[in-house]
Structure 1
């Protein structure tokens, strides 16, 4: 009688047959991987569904709260870094205009010969409406030979006798016109000494640097009053 063939499977301690390859099936019935290493189950699989919803809700709430704060910080930072809007520059009339009377300024109007009268009319037509910030005002007499500006009034008188200038006196050339200054109590009197018909400007002491005030008047004189007279040495270029 032939011997019985030895079974390829042995019994384990529990009386269960072990596989021939020595690998034992897991207790939960799932097959053993070929390499014998089983991966852990998904750790999140056993997490309760309520806890997952709580975590997601907390994250959403944190996002909703953080977004407006981030935007506010960005706006404040931009406002701080942005340059300030410059204030509009005041107009010259608002910043430099003087309060002044519009009443006529009292001035004498001596009779002039025909030639000086013609020259003076030409000068008055060339004078500006304003001298710096002084507006022109009416005069009580001789508007064809007199003009006034501002309050206190700066006056311009055309015609009259040629001034006598001592050799030691100073003369000043402003815009190609030579002026002889005389200081009085409350005014500086400037008279042309190089023109066919003299022009006299009286500038109140409250207006500083009198030569600056005759600059636009000099330009009008050059355009309308011919050169002439006994020009002092200090005015000869």
Structure 2
């Protein structure tokens, strides 16, 4: 805080001169009127400074002594989460490869050559037989088989149109089987139960089917858009 007056119009009376012969004349007067006030303030100030310097040094010495004699703490081991998935299999997926007639074989080769390298987040995997007509993705494996027999279904069974491809679905052990019913060569996709909403998994495959597998002239009634 400043020691200057709060306002410029404040005046103070001059200090009275000390009387001759007074033994306090040669010594400064303290603010409270006691002699040698300046020396006392100097002594107190020096003591405060010495204390302020000594305290950090004392604290530092205590910290160093504690660190020296405190027992070492073992480093924490990295935790492993039980929910961390293991590595996905990249081994060939076992699939059958029945012999195909010339026309279906040609169509299937065109389809397989254009299939995407991934279906959603599932990477493509090798197959044990018929890579020109079979494909597999992910672990557990979602499989694509071209040239299978056409599925049998009733006129009242529900069909699904996905990206202009008409699919018939049935349930099998551990998977949903989706087969095209509006293409000259049948394409069958097996979607494991681990993957929700099976129709979403055939969406990228439908795009390739539309481009490579010709449609039939007279598709089932359920395949026609409403």
Structure 1 distance, partners of 2:150, 2:118, is: 27
Alpha-carbon contact 2:119-2:137 (below 8 Å) kept: yes
Unpaired runs of 5+ residues, structure 1, are 1-25, 30-40, 66-94
Shift of residue 60, structure 1, vs aligned partner: 4.6
In the alignment, which residue of structure 2 is the partner of 1:79? none
In the alignment, which residue of structure 1 is the partner of 2:117? 129
Q: Which range is displaced more, 175-184 or 50-59?
A: 50-59
1:231 aligns with 2:209: no
Normalised to the residue count of structure 1, the TM-score between the two structures is 0.61
Structure 2 distance, partners of 1:27, 1:139, is: 115
Question: What is the CA deviation profile of residues 148-180 of structure 1, one whole-angstrom value per residue up to 9, with x for unaligned ones?
Answer: 122332210111443333111111122221110
1:189 aligns with 2:191: no
The SS at the match of 1:231 is coil
Question: What is the CA deviation profile of residues 54-89 of structure 1, one whole-angstrom value per residue up to 9, with x for unaligned ones?
Answer: 233356568879xxxxxxxxxxxxxxxxxxxxxxxx
The SS at the match of 2:219 is coil
Structure 1 distance, partners of 2:154, 2:84, is: 38
In the alignment, which residue of structure 2 is the partner of 1:53? 42
Cα distance change on mapping 1:134 and 1:99 into 2, 3 Å: farther
Q: How does 1:31-50 map to 2 (within 5 A)?
A: 43-44=30-31, 46-50=35-39
Between Structure 1 and Structure 2, how many residues are aligned? 175
Structure 2 distance, partners of 1:165, 1:52, is: 107
In the alignment, which residue of structure 2 is the partner of 1:170? 158
Shift of residue 209, structure 1, vs aligned partner: 2.0
1:154 aligns with 2:160: no
Normalised to the residue count of structure 2, the TM-score between the two structures is 0.64
In the alignment, which residue of structure 2 is the partner of 1:220? 208
Cα distance change on mapping 1:191 and 1:60 into 2, 3 Å: same
Cα distance change on mapping 1:167 and 1:96 into 2, 3 Å: farther
Alpha-carbon contact 1:174-1:211 (below 8 Å) kept: yes
What is the alpha-carbon root mean square deviation over aligned residues?
3.3
Shift of residue 214, structure 1, vs aligned partner: 1.2
Alpha-carbon contact 1:189-1:200 (below 8 Å) kept: yes
Task: Tell me which structure has the larger Cα radius of gyration.
Answer: 1
Unpaired runs of 5+ residues, structure 2, are 1-16, 21-27, 55-82
Alpha-carbon contact 1:112-1:160 (below 8 Å) kept: no
Alpha-carbon contact 2:94-2:127 (below 8 Å) kept: yes
Shift of residue 48, structure 1, vs aligned partner: 4.2
In the alignment, which residue of structure 1 is the partner of 2:67? none
